[in-house]
Structure 1
Amino acid sequence: MKKKVMALALALCLCCGAALMTGCGQDGGKIIMGTNAEFEPFEYKTESGIVGNFDGLDVAIAQEIAKDMGKELAVEDMDFGSLIGAVSTGKVNFVAAGMTIKPDRLENADFSDTYFDAGQVIIVKKGQTDIKSNEDLKDKKIGVQEGTTGDEAVSELGGSTEVYRFKKGMDAVLDLNNDKIDAVVIDEMPARAFVAKNEGLEILDEPFTVESYAIAVKKGDTATLEAINKTLKRIKEDGTFDELYKKYIDAYVENFEE
């Protein structure tokens, strides 16, 4: 009996030692990024991405984070509304998805330093006269991407405003084209792409919201948060962020504003 107990104890010790080397029983050689790959140029799918078939500014930044941590980056694509739940339960190590810091998200996640200033804009049909400013959205049928800042802001308009929530921004744009809704509120970058691909649409000059993007980690995961902030600081100081900005943001804007 004593021999069996000693053997079991030895096995547990070996297991624990191996776990310390591999991240407590998980694959310590990988770090998992959660995202919603429907948000070009920040995250999108392509045949030859920098991580499998994923590419974009957020993916490139995540690649730098993984490199500094000595790990291999893996990407998990899911609905935007599922991302905070995924990081809070440990399904992913962090979320990089053009995400802003909001009080309800802070209840379940911690956020890095901000790395990009952006905003929500309003897409309407050319020639329409009912919506010329943010105030005109009240009592209209507005399409948003579910779980985004735009969703929350439009929901607060009150009155008889009708909010139509979509998993993908493109689906909202299709309903706008088909006169099922009056406008779409969505992040500026994908909005530019949608308008470029749909000649009958335009973006109002007045931004709907102004916000900054940050990276989310599990509440209390200070080690990952510190590593992310360290990488963000490095890439801003050594010029890497500027290079990535030119590659993804400047090129994207030039492509759709020629």
Structure 2
Amino acid sequence: MKKITKIGVLVMLVAITLSLAACSSGTKTSSDTKKYVIATDTTFKPFEYENDKGERVGIDMDLLAAIAKDQGFEYELKAVGFDAALGEVSTGQSDGMIAGMSITDDRKKTFDFSDPYFDSGVVMAVSASNNTIKSYEDLRGQKVAVKNGTEGAAFAESIKDQYGFTTVSFPDSANMYEDVKAGNSVALFEDYPVVGDAIATGVPLKMVTEMEKGSSYGFAVKKGENAELLEMFNAGLTNLKANGEYQKILDTYIKK
């Protein structure tokens, strides 16, 4: 009698084990989906900004959402500002960052980047009422506004000694624009789609130089970490370009 009972128990254990194995080999449930924390900027229109409904929108926001859907991962967005986002990723508080971030050799020392998703460039802009600043030569002895950590700031730093101007740094685009509008700085350097969007939406600025070729934008993770997330971003980007969704996103925010 005891022998029969032991055999019965063994049969039951085998059945349970096979049942669990069958369940685990099926499609992942929603609870199995990997969720990442992604840091971003707060005001870098048209790449990331808050609309009238309080929603985070823009090229980067729509692109991230579309790639996450294509690749089947979830994410929590942390809109903390550009400088803070750099710190979030480099210290491991966030898994990745998308914030109109230029791919540079210096940043590659700290971050691993995705394939480029946008090719940018830098322009100089002045107040719409300013008719004296028309070229870099006109900046001698003047103050110029830049935004921390941007391609525009890097370009301004690279030519300021040559043209004899000083730079004033701001944490966001809005405060930089206000400084130029108020006349505290005579000009600003900014990525062309960003300042172009600002002008199109009523900010009283005007571009006075041709676009300088800049770096490409990329999605970033801490160097040596989150390789799977980076691979999914690249795969999703490739798919979105192939099916036309990528171009639709650009056309939504960049008017030709």
TM-score, with length taken from structure 2: 0.78
How many residues in Structure 1 have an aligned counterpart in Structure 2? 221
Please list, as runs of the form range in 1=range in 2, the aligned pairs for 1:97-176 lying within 5 A after superposition. Answer: 97-126=99-128, 128-159=130-161, 160-176=164-180
Contact 1:110 1:219 in 2 (8 A): yes
Output aligned runs, 1:172-211, within 5 Å: 172-196=176-200, 197-199=202-204, 201-211=205-215
Structure 2 residue aligned with 1:232, among 212, 234, 237?
Answer: 237
Go from structure 1 to structure 2 and tell me whether the alpha carbon gap of 1:84 and 1:202 turns closer, same or farther (over 3 Å shift). Answer: same
Quote how far apart the aligned CAs of 1:211 are: 2.6
Cα distance in 1, alignment partners of residues 195 and 95 from structure 2: 29
Counting only pairs closer than 5 Å after superposition, residues 4-23 of structure 1 correspond to structure 2 as none
- What is the CA distance between 1:94 and its match in structure 2? 1.3
- The answer as to whether partners of 2:43 and 2:81 remain within 8 angstroms in 1 is no
Q: Which residue of 2 aligns with 1:60?
A: 62
Indicate the SS of the match to 1:99.
coil
- Return the offset for 1:70: 2.4
**Deviations 1:98-152 (Å, cap 9, x if unpaired)?**
1111122111101111111121211113464543234544543110111111112
Which moves more between the two structures, 83-92 or 109-118? 83-92
Q: Shift in Å at residue 191 of structure 1? A: 0.9
**1:190 CA displacement:** 2.4
Task: Say which SS state the counterpart of residue 110 (structure 1) adopts.
Answer: strand
Q: Indicate conservation of the 8 Å contact 2:96/2:222, yes or no.
A: yes
Counterpart of 1:213 (choices 198, 206, 217) is 217
Tell me: CA distance 1:105–1:138, structure 2 relative to 1, closer, same or farther (3 Å).
farther
Alpha carbons of 1:134 and 1:207: their partners in 2 closer, same or farther (altered >3 Å)? farther
Identity %: 33
Provide, for residues 61-91 of structure 1, a one-character-per-residue CA deviation record: whole Å limited to 9, x for no partner.
1112322342222211112122222112222
Separation (CA, whole Å) in 2 of partners of 1:126 and 1:42: 23
Deviation at 1:233, TM superposition (A): 0.8
Unpaired segments ≥5 residues, structure 1: 1-26
Determine if contact 2:122/2:190 at 8 Å carries over to the other structure.
yes
Distance change in 2, residues 1:96/1:158 (3 Å): same
Letter of the 1:42 partner, please give it: F
Among 75, 82, 92, which residue is 2:94 paired with? Answer: 92
Equivalent position amino acid for 2:243 in 1: D
User: 1:103 aligns to what SS in structure 2?
Assistant: coil
Match of 2:19 in 1: none
**Distance in 1 (alpha carbons) for counterparts of 2:91 and 2:68:** 20
* TM-score between the two structures when normalised by the length of structure 1: 0.77
Aligned to 1:79: 81
The amino acid across from 1:93 in the alignment is: D
Structure 2: 5+ residue stretches without partners: 1-31
Q: Counterpart of 1:185 in structure 2: which amino acid?
A: F
SS at 1:100 equivalent: coil
Q: What is the alpha-carbon distance in structure 2 between the residues aligned to residue 47 and residue 170 of structure 1?
A: 16
1:39 correspondence with 2:41: no
CA gap 1:31/1:212 in 2 versus in 1, 3 angstroms? same
Alignment partner of 1:157: what SS?
A: helix
